[in-house]
């Protein structure tokens, strides 16, 4: 009765071997390394870069222990941290500022292991050190900005068609236009509908006023906000890249939040500065009706035309620009520094996306000879970067900005144009920083707690249940092996509470073995033969094991659903630990017992500790 | 080795009136502490900033307070954390400074006054996030309670489900009562421990109830109290061994786990100790009082009929 089918042994052996394979990478340790990536996130890398890095290292005789080319970055391993630092400054110098060089640690596990997907456990920020930010994206501002640009479009269109309206205002995302007559209103409505079909209209007639309310449909609002988040994510990606972080994580969370995790970052001040920078770019026409804007300087602000505003350029000269925005930074897909081949001046060349290109083409065609201003808005400070004269119609979306003082300025402006535009402002609403020494300490604390707890359990079980106690301990070790293997294979984030959960699940997993052992003792007490006792014991314990594990599982799932960060880490380990402990208690411990006892026909006594006999009933 | 060499079943249910008085008293006291003293909620729930900084030598708390006062941060809490070198600084949310600015301001000022200061940990939580974490915590507790009750109703019977959940809530309230009484900090990690206790300590009730059901089938002539007494006595050895091993691990956490896991381990300890008591002396009497008997338990469950045949 106590035989396990051959397939069960095979299944267990295979699982154990696989687990050993996946646990192995955790024991190889890590090497210092540098990681080289292009400053523009997501740009691919080729072998020529690899060769130039190799050459540079050879030249200055810095020995590396391996170069790895991946899709978006190159990693170079070193023996010592000293070589790593030397190499970092060397490579950064030789590659220039098109690339970012970051410090990193790479697992020393052999390649064949990583090739089959066996990687070390993925440590959370509380174990490896670093910064975690949660950013709140202010979507209502993004919506307002879009509304404002719609309204300005309407005004232009209505004026063009000579439709009589005398007031166009907006309140948050609701626009309101007052018309002179009902016919004008109907005509105006059609024009607006032509511009964009996604509006909801409402006509109001009170006190001789004829008002058209234009409301943006929910669907459009959704797409506006979705776009804003996407844009912000992209911008953040570029900015984080600038920071030179080896393995950053930038992710949308929920509807309007973004999580950023920067492992290994110590300079939190700089990280915050760069992430929090809210630069937006706008292209607007210069109002050239008034030749000398300086007349407005002395408090003559009432005389500024309603459609225009005054801003200073980089040299402090005031420039009168129109309020209407032609293009914003969102339309820029790329920007880079360059040199004008005719004049030898530093320039910035910009590439616009399709819609941007067509708008730009139209505007330049209609405004040849006039000046277009490029405004940079940073922390509520608006500055005219440059205001060149449009010389000809510019199609194809490739624009050159002249007027840069030197190459450094061109590089800076290009960087800002690439990375500078946020579709909506953001605010840091959660920050968690863990220093590097703290991370290491947390690991050793968690590991020590687990090890000593484990040792104590081994001693207790062996004394109390003898051979069956040893079998329980073996089962528990196998369980630990499975759990660590599963965590490594799934690359689930391991946090300090997660480490605590490993220890806790060990303490709880022993419950299954205890239940089984106690049941077997019970059966012997009731006068059953040893073989029968084993068989009945396992059978009777199974239902109880299932029940008690499922209730813990419910708690684990709740933690996973409602928890965040480190707590989620706890939940993941708890849930996985329950699964592995059930598997090992049912399959593994039974298989071991059957292997030792099942073959013998008759056993006189089970080594399961002393059993006190009671005269039951 | 065998811990329990009991010849006869221990008449646990005989003491159920005394235990009811004890449980109710402890429970009321716990509730009183929670209401009067309140929980010392961590920044996770209240919002605010917590910074752990360390110095190479014993930290001068007064100096740190002075430095903070000099940059106009009045409402702060500064105390040693674990060792003499480590200091925990707590700052409430401020209207004029964002959380990102606040922690930067503090670390810059402290660095200026002592260059060897190292920031070990910063936890800043905005009020909005704090509220959400609080809400999610409450939701999680609710979810676990409902989930466990549904499962127990399905697997056993509604009387057991109610008995188990009351026993469990008894444990949770007592954990919270301890945290309120001693003003230990209640943060997200402790909440995780509380939820783990909810799931874990219901095991205890499940094991006993399992035996009770089995006994109802076997001990046809015994009355309800005898059946329950026998179930508790027979599972006693398992109860002690299981909780002993879990508690061993938790003690190991208390010793080696450091300050961050300290309150987590404390919550687990209280949960485990009271979990044993409550599943025996709270859960079982309530199940009995609700009218659990042979007819509604052993027979009403179709699965148990199947099991009966197998045996």
- Residue B131, chain A, CB below 8 Å: the answer is no
The answer to whether B105 and B124 are in contact (CB under 8 A) is: no
Best residue of B136, B238, B240, B244 to probe chain A, by most A CBs closer than 10 Å? B238
- B141 in the same domain as B96: no
Alpha helices (H) along A24-124? 47-59, 81-95, 111-115
Of B125, B159, B192, the residue that ends a domain is: B125
- Beta strand A318-328 with A308-312: parallel, antiparallel or unpaired? antiparallel
With CA atoms as reference, the chain A residue closest to B150 would be: A551
Where does A140-221 sit in CATH, by number? 3.30.70.990
**What residues of chain B lie within 8 A of the CB of A508, using their CB?**
200, 203, 246
- B170 in the same domain as B274: yes
The token duo for A327 is 């293009």
Tens-place pLDDT, residues B52-111:
999 998 888 998 999 999 988 888 899 998 888 899 999 998 888 888 888 888 988 998
CA angle in degrees (0–180, nearest 5) for B287-B291-B294? 95
**What residues of chain B lie within 8 A of the CB of A452, using their CB?**
252, 255-256
Same fold, A6-23+436-598 and A140-221: no
- B233 in the same domain as B190: yes
Tens-place pLDDT, residues B187-213:
888 988 998 888 888 888 888 888 898
Q: What is the separation of C-alpha A386 from the centre of its chain, rounded to a whole number of angstroms?
A: 35
Does A275 score more than 50 pLDDT? yes
With CA atoms as reference, the chain A residue closest to B207 would be: A544
Q: What is the DSSP string of A438-488?
A: HHHHHHHHHHHHHHHHHHHHHHHHHHHHHHHHHHHHHHHHHHHHHHHHHHH
Confidence of residue B298 (pLDDT cuts 50, 70, 90): low
**Highest mean pLDDT, choosing among A42-46, A71-75, A317-321, B19-23:** B19-23
Chain B, window 277-306: residues with a beta carbon less than 8 angstroms from a chain A beta carbon:
none
- B233 in the same domain as B87: no
**Is B2 within a domain?**
no
CATH class of this structure's domain A6-23+436-598: mainly alpha
Tens-place pLDDT, residues A1-36:
677 788 888 999 999 999 999 999 999 888 889 988
- B251 in the same domain as B148: yes
Tell me how close the Cα of B209 comes to any Cα of chain A, in angstroms: 9
Contact at CB, A438 and B52, closer than 8 angstroms: yes
Contact at CB, A554 and B147, closer than 8 angstroms: yes
CATH number of the domain encompassing residue B76 = 3.30.70.270
Sign of the CA dihedral running B40, B42, B43, B46: negative
- Residue B259, chain A, CB below 8 Å: the answer is no
Spell A53-82 as b/e; 16+ CB within 10 A means b: beebbeeeebebeebeeeeebbbbbbeeee
Of A450, A521, A548, which is closest to B203 when you measure between CB atoms? Answer: A548
- Residue A254, chain B, CB below 8 Å: the answer is no
**Is B28 within a domain?**
yes
With CA atoms as reference, the chain A residue closest to B144 would be: A555
- Residue B196, chain A, CB below 8 Å: the answer is yes
**What residues of chain B lie within 8 A of the CB of A269, using their CB?**
104, 107-108
Contact at CB, B248 and A456, closer than 8 angstroms: yes
- Residue A442, chain B, CB below 8 Å: the answer is yes
**Is B109 within a domain?**
yes
Contact at CB, B249 and A457, closer than 8 angstroms: yes
Q: How far apart are the first and last CA of chain A?
A: 29
- B103 in the same domain as B202: no
Contact at CB, A571 and B192, closer than 8 angstroms: yes
pLDDT at B280: 86
Count of domains forming chain B: 2
Work out the number of other CB atoms within 10 angstroms of the CB of residue A486.
Answer: 19
Contact at CB, A574 and B196, closer than 8 angstroms: yes
Tens-place pLDDT, residues A485-530:
999 999 988 988 999 899 889 888 898 999 899 889 888 888 888 8
- Residue B147, chain A, CB below 8 Å: the answer is yes
Q: What is the separation of C-alpha A274 from the centre of its chain, rounded to a whole number of angstroms?
A: 16
Taking every pair of Cα atoms in chain B, the longest distance, rounded to a whole number of angstroms, is 81
Report how far residue A398's alpha carbon sits from residue A336's, in angstroms, rounded to the nearest whole number.
Answer: 11
Of B4, B100, B261, which is closest to A428 when you measure between CB atoms? Answer: B100
The answer to whether A413 and A347 are in contact (CB under 8 A) is: no
Contact at CB, A559 and B192, closer than 8 angstroms: yes
Helix axes A566-583 and B188-218, enclosed angle (nearest 10): 30
- Residue B10, chain A, CB below 8 Å: the answer is no
The answer to whether A36 and A101 are in contact (CB under 8 A) is: yes
- Residue B97, chain A, CB below 8 Å: the answer is no
- B66 in the same domain as B27: no
Query: Which has the closest alpha carbon to B254: B268, B239, B272?
Result: B268
Does A548 score more than 70 pLDDT? yes
Contact at CB, B192 and A567, closer than 8 angstroms: yes
Contact at CB, A561 and B196, closer than 8 angstroms: no
With CA atoms as reference, the chain A residue closest to B43 would be: A430
Q: What is the separation of C-alpha B70 from the centre of its chain, rounded to a whole number of angstroms?
A: 41
- Residue A520, chain B, CB below 8 Å: the answer is no
Q: Is the ipTM beyond the 0.90 threshold?
A: no
Does A299 score more than 60 pLDDT? no
**Is B7 within a domain?**
no
**Is B6 within a domain?**
no
Does A152 score more than 60 pLDDT? yes
**What residues of chain A lie within 8 A of the CB of B144, using their CB?**
554-555, 558
Of A442, A554, A566, which is closest to B189 when you measure between CB atoms? Answer: A566
Mean pLDDT, residues A410-417: 68
Tens-place pLDDT, residues A43-65:
678 888 888 888 888 888 888 88
The answer to whether A285 and A322 are in contact (CB under 8 A) is: yes
pLDDT at B310: 39
- Residue B190, chain A, CB below 8 Å: the answer is no
Contact at CB, B133 and A553, closer than 8 angstroms: no
Tens-place pLDDT, residues A62-77:
888 888 888 788 889 9
- Residue B41, chain A, CB below 8 Å: the answer is no
Mean pLDDT, residues A257-264: 91
CATH class of this structure's domain A30-108: alpha beta
**Is B217 within a domain?**
yes
Tens-place pLDDT, residues A97-120:
678 888 888 888 888 888 888 899
**Is B253 within a domain?**
yes
**Is B4 within a domain?**
no
Confidence of residue B5 (pLDDT cuts 50, 70, 90): low
Q: In which order are the strands placed within the sheet that holds A372-378? A: A308-312, A318-328, A279-286, A372-378, A381-386
What predicted TM-score, i.e. pTM, was given to this entire model? Answer: 0.79
Does B1 score more than 80 pLDDT? no
CATH number of the domain encompassing residue B225 = 1.20.1640.10
Best residue of A272, A426, A455, A500 to probe chain B, by most B CBs closer than 10 Å? A500
The answer to whether A452 and B245 are in contact (CB under 8 A) is: no
CATH class of this structure's domain A279-421: alpha beta
Of A276, A441, A549, which is closest to B258 when you measure between CB atoms? Answer: A441
Of B66, B91, B125, the residue that ends a domain is: B125
- B167 in the same domain as B21: yes
With CA atoms as reference, the chain A residue closest to B308 would be: A540
Q: Which of A269-278, A316-325, A377-386, A410-419 has the lowest mean pLDDT?
A: A410-419
Report how far residue B210's alpha carbon sits from residue A509's, in angstroms, rounded to the nearest whole number.
Answer: 19
With CA atoms as reference, the chain A residue closest to B210 would be: A544
CA angle in degrees (0–180, nearest 5) for A160-A164-A169? 90
**Highest mean pLDDT, choosing among A214-223, A459-468, B291-300:** A459-468
Its domain, for residue B255, covers 12-41+130-310
With CA atoms as reference, the chain A residue closest to B219 would be: A617
Contact at CB, A515 and B207, closer than 8 angstroms: yes
Contact at CB, A562 and B140, closer than 8 angstroms: yes
- The rounded percent of chain A whose pLDDT value lies above 90 is 16
- Residue A534, chain B, CB below 8 Å: the answer is no
Chain A, window 447-476: residues with a beta carbon less than 8 angstroms from a chain B beta carbon:
448-450, 452-454, 456-457, 460-461, 463-464
The token duo for A31 is 């090497």
pLDDT at A612: 64
Domain parsing of chain A, residue ranges: 6-23+436-598, 30-108, 140-221, 279-421
Does A617 score more than 50 pLDDT? no
Tell me how close the Cα of B238 comes to any Cα of chain A, in angstroms: 6
Report how far residue B253's alpha carbon sits from residue B259's, in angstroms, rounded to the nearest whole number.
Answer: 10
């Amino acid at each position: 009765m106590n035989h396990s089918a051959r397939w069960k042994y095979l299944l267990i052996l295979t699982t154990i071997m696989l687990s050993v394979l996946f646990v192995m990478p955790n024991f190889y340790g890590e090497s210092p390394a540098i990681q080289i990536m292009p400053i523009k996130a997501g740009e691919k890398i080729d072998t020529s870069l690899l060769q130039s890095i190799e050459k540079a290292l050879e030249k200055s005789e810095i020995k590396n222990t391996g170069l790895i080319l991946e899709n978006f970055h190159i990693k170079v391993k070193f023996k010592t941290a000293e070589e790593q630092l030397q190499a970092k400054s060397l490579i950064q110098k030789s590659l220039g500022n098109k690339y970012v060089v970051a410090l990193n640690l790479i697992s020393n596990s052999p390649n064949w292991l990583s090739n089959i997907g066996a990687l070390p456990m993925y440590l959370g920020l509380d174990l490896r050190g670093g910064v975690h930010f949660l950013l709140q994206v202010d979507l209502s501002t993004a919506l307002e900005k879009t509304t404002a640009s719609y309204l300005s479009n309407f005004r232009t269109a209505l004026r063009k068609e000579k439709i009589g309206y005398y007031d166009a205002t907006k309140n948050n995302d609701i626009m309101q236009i007052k018309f002179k007559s009902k016919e004008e209103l109907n005509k105006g409505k059609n024009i607006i509908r032509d511009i964009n079909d996604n509006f909801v209209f409402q006509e109001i007639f009170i006190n001789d006023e004829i008002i058209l309310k234009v409301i943006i449909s929910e669907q459009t609002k959704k797409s506006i906000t979705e776009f804003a988040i996407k844009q912000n994510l992209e911008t953040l990606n570029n900015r984080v890249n600038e920071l030179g972080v080896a393995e950053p994580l930038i992710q949308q969370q929920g509807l309007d939040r973004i999580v950023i995790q920067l492992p290994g970052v110590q300079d939190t001040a700089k990280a915050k500065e760069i992430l929090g920078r809210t630069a937006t770019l706008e292209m607007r026409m210069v109002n050239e009706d008034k030749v000398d804007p300086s007349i407005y300087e002395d408090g003559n602000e009432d005389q500024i035309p309603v459609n225009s505003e005054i801003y200073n350029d980089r040299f402090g000269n005031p420039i009168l620009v129109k309020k209407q925005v032609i293009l914003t930074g969102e339309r820029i897909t790329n920007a880079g520094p360059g040199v004008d081949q005719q004049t030898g001046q530093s320039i910035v060349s910009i590439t616009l996306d399709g819609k941007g290109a067509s708008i730009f083409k139209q505007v330049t065609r209609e405004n040849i000879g006039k000046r277009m201003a490029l405004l940079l808005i940073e922390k509520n400070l608006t500055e005219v970067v440059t205001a060149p004269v449009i010389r000809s119609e510019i199609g194809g979306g490739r624009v050159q900005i002249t007027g840069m003082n030197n190459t450094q300025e061109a590089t800076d402006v290009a960087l800002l144009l690439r990375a500078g535009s946020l579709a909506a402002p953001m605010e840091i609403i959660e920050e968690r920083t863990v220093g590097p020494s703290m991370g290491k300490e947390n690991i050793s604390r968690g590991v020590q707690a687990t090890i000593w707890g484990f040792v104590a359990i081994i001693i207790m079980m062996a004394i109390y249940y003898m051979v069956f106690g040893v079998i329980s301990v073996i089962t528990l070790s196998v369980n630990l092996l499975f759990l660590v293997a599963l965590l490594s294979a799934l690359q689930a984030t391991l946090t300090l509470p997660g480490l605590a959960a490993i220890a806790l699940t060990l303490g709880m997993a022993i419950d299954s073995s205890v239940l089984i052992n106690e049941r077997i003792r019970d059966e012997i007490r009731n006068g059953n033969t040893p073989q029968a006792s084993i068989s009945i014991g396992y059978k009777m314990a199974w239902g109880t094991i299932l029940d008690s594990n499922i209730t813990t599982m419910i708690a684990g799932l709740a933690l996973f659903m409602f928890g965040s960060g480190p707590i989620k880490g706890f939940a993941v380990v708890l849930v996985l630990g329950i699964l592995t402990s059930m598997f090992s208690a049912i399959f593994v411990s039974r298989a071991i017992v059957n292997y030792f006892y099942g073959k013998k026909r008759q056993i006189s006594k089970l080594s399961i500790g002393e059993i006190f006999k009671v005269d039951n009933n | 080795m065998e811990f329990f060499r009991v010849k006869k079943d221990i008449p646990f249910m005989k003491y159920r009136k005394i235990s009811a008085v004890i449980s109710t008293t402890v429970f009321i006291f716990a509730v009183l502490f929670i209401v009067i003293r309140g929980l010392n909620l961590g920044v996770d729930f209240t919002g605010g900033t917590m910074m752990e900084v360390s110095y190479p030598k014993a930290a001068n708390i007064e100096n740190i307070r002075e430095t903070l006062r000099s940059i106009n941060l009045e409402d702060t809490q500064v105390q040693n954390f674990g060792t003499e070198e480590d200091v925990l600084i707590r700052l409430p949310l401020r209207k004029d400074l964002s959380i990102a600015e606040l922690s930067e301001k503090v670390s810059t000022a402290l660095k200026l006054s002592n260059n060897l200061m190292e920031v070990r940990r910063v936890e800043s939580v905005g009020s909005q996030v704090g509220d959400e974490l609080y809400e999610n915590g409450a939701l999680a507790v609710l979810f676990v309670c409902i989930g466990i009750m549904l499962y127990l109703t399905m697997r056993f019977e509604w009387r057991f489900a109610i008995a188990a959940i009351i026993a469990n809530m008894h444990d949770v309230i007592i954990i919270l009562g301890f945290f309120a009484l001693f003003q230990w900090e209640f943060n997200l990690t402790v909440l995780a421990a509380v939820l783990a206790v909810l799931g874990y300590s219901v095991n205890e009730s499940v094991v006993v109830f399992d035996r009770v059901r089995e006994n109802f089938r076997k001990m046809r002539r015994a009355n309800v109290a005898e059946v329950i007494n026998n179930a508790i006595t027979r599972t006693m050895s398992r109860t002690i061994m299981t909780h002993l091993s879990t508690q061993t691990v938790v003690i190991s956490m208390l010793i080696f786990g450091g300050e961050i896991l300290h309150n987590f381990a404390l919550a687990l300890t209280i949960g485990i100790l009271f979990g044993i008591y409550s599943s025996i002396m709270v859960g079982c009497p309530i199940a009995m009082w609700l009218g659990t008997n042979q007819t509604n338990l052993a027979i009403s469950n179709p699965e148990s009929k199947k099991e009966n045949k197998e045996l």
